């Protein structure tokens, strides 16, 4: 009796080639030079690294045509949450200093709020002294 199997899988070799091509394209993009943006492939998971959410979208826009060109259906993509390790480090520093403020991650911004202006100023002073991998700006200070 004739039969056939139905599978849904991604050719890992073609995935590797697509990510390598996108990485080479990344080196040619003047707007992404010096930003430490990159792709990492582990098993069948492609992780993108970039300083901002906008640049992550740019990386995804670079990767999609390379995947499609290699015969990988874009419906295979599962987009995960955008994670900010820097924001988590900043929150940890503020909590270690035991400053009475609340923090929340809003997209590519970190909102710090507190009852007293002095607490907010203490948090700013703490972060200015801290040696972090990216420069920080403090905006929308409100009383």
Segment holding 129, helix H or strand E: helix 117-129
Q: Taking the CA atoms of the chain, what radius of gyration do you get in angstroms?
A: 21
Q: Which domains does the chain have, with CATH numbers?
A: 12-76 (3.30.70.990), 85-129 (3.30.70.860)
pTM: 0.62
Segment holding 45, helix H or strand E: strand 45-49
pLDDT in tens, 58-103: 999 999 999 999 999 888 888 887 777 778 888 888 889 888 988 8
Q: What is the mean pLDDT of the chain?
A: 85
How far apart CA 15 and CA 143 sit, in angstroms, is 51
Name the residue with tokens 């920080």: 136
CA 9, distance to chain mean position in Å, is 26
Q: Pick from 85, 41, 79: which is nearest to 60 by CA?
A: 79
Assign 2 a pLDDT band (cuts: 50, 70, 90). low
The answer, yes or no, to whether residue 3 has pLDDT greater than 80, is no
Name the residue with tokens 């995804």: 60
């Amino acid at each position: 009796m004739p039969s056939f199997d139905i599978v849904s899988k991604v050719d890992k070799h073609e995935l590797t080639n697509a990510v390598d091509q996108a990485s080479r394209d990344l080196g040619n993009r003047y707007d992404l030079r010096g930003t430490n943006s990159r792709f990492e492939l582990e098993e069948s998971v492609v992780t993108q690294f970039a300083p901002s959410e906008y640049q992550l979208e740019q990386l995804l826009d670079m990767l999609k045509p390379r995947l499609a060109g290699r015969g990988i259906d874009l419906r295979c993509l599962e987009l995960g949450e955008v994670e900010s390790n820097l924001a988590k480090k900043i929150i940890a520093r503020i909590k270690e200093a035991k400053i009475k403020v609340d923090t929340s991650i809003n997209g590519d911004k970190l909102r710090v709020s507190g009852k007293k202006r002095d607490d907010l100023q203490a948090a700013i002073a703490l972060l200015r002294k801290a040696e972090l991998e990216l420069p920080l700006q403090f905006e929308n200070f409100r009383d």
